[in-house]
Amino acid sequence: MGLGTVAITGAAGNIGSAVRQALREEVTRMILLDRIPIRRQAANEHADIVDLRDAAAVEAALAGADSVLHLGGLPDEAPLADLLEVNVLGTQNVLEAARRSGIARVVLASSNRVTGFYPTAHITSTQEPVRPDGLYGVSKAAVEALGQMYADKFGLSVICLRIGSFEEKPTEARHLATWLSPRDAVGYIRAALTAPRSTGFATGYAVSANTRRFWALPASSVLDYTPVDDAEHYVAHIAGTHAPADASAPQAGPYALPEFTLRHLQG
């Protein structure tokens, strides 16, 4: 299936930039959206500044798209009011624009942080209840719920990717389980954009083929992509990898600490 016209929110970010470069030759047209200016690099690119909180602007920016890759939003822990405004309401604006415009596929960037409190010894699947490790994880759980509702109620085709630790190379011990390489990120996103239109709603962990991973890989019926990179190849260059592992420790690592969220709570 061809990619047609693909709109990318958060196109100036690390993942957006990688996808832009990798898929530029596979699309008819690429609509690049962010809150900061983006310079066009090819004739089939169209760049625009958009605030995800502005529903009318989002709908206008997505006009003509066949599919949307929604990467925009606050990328880490923040006050809940900010996360709700940008991540949750911003996602609702994208989904509503897709519904009103008849866009066939929306791919939503979720996060592994929606299940950060499962222990590292547990291989977590998307069929299990969410266990957010903080307010950011809560916002991404709400993003997934919105996607499910728009699929069930309005017939949109929505795929949520629970993105791992996107890095050029793994640089810390936790990455041995959570690393998502640029090559695998593009592979998962391409698979999500081209999945059969009969797909109503689906969720999958986007993580590389790490020997120590603690998330189940998506079934081929959900995403037709098999990751190829393994963080284990970098183990000799990462400190702290030979210390005894605590099987009961949360998968989120330091993100699960109370201090990580307390600084964003009022009072």
Catalytic residue (one of 136, 205, 225, 255): 136
Identity of the residue numbered 21: Q
Amino acid in the structure at residue 188: Y
Burial class for 75, CB neighbours closer than 10 Å (0-12, 13-18, 19+): middle
Which of 220, 224, 113, 95 has the alpha carbon at shortest distance from 151?
Answer: 95
For the stretch 166-181, pLDDT in tens is 999 999 999 999 999 9
Assessment of whether the complete model's pTM goes beyond 0.85: yes
Active site residue 255: no
pLDDT of residue 266: 75
pLDDT score at 244: 73
Using only the alpha carbons of the chain, give its radius of gyration. 18
Closest listed residue to residue 31, CA positions, set 87, 78, 73, 70: 70
Characterise 146 by phi-psi region: left (phi > 0), alpha (psi -120 to 50), beta (else).
Answer: alpha
User: Alpha-carbon distance 267 to 254, whole Å?
Assistant: 23
What is the set of domains in the chain, with CATH numbers?
5-262 (3.40.50.720)
Residue ranges of the chain with per-residue pLDDT less than 70: 1, 267
Q: Around 163, how many Cα atoms within 13 Å sit in the side-chain half-sphere?
A: 24
- In one-letter notation, the amino acid at residue 85 is E
Answer yes or no: are the C-beta atoms of 198 and 130 closer than 8 Å. no
